[in-house]
């Protein structure tokens, strides 16, 4: 996929921390920032999925326990 230049603003401290990072030194700041954004978006997606699962199963602990007990009983 082709990359497109994007202008962003970073405070001096953050820019200094990026410049000091070994990955940024080895692969460059752009690659480092792309990697960081990918990691952030993946973590955000996981968080959103976890939240959706919690919402879907909230208040259903008793039902889930009964279902698990029934499955265990069948296996015995």
For 24, the token pair is 């940024």
pLDDT at 74 over 90: no
The three state secondary structure string of 37-51 is: HHHHHHHHHHHHHHH
CB 16 within 8 A of CB 8: no
Biggest CA-to-CA distance, the chain: 63
pLDDT of residue 3: 86
pTM, two decimal places: 0.68
> Which stretch of 10-14, 27-31, 70-74 has the lowest confidence by average pLDDT?
70-74
CB atoms within 10 A of CB 49: 10
| pLDDT tens digits along 20-67 | 999 999 999 999 999 999 999 999 999 999 999 888 878 788 888 888
CB atoms within 10 A of CB 24: 18
């Amino acid at each position: 996929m082709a990359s497109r230049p994007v202008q962003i603003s970073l405070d001096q401290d953050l820019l200094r921390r990026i410049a000091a990072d070994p990955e940024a030194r080895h692969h460059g700041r752009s690659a480092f920032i792309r990697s960081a954004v990918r990691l952030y978006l993946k973590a955000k997606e996981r968080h959103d999925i976890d939240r959706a699962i919690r919402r879907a199963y909230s208040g259903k602990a008793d039902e889930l326990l009964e279902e698990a007990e029934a499955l265990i009983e069948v296996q015995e």
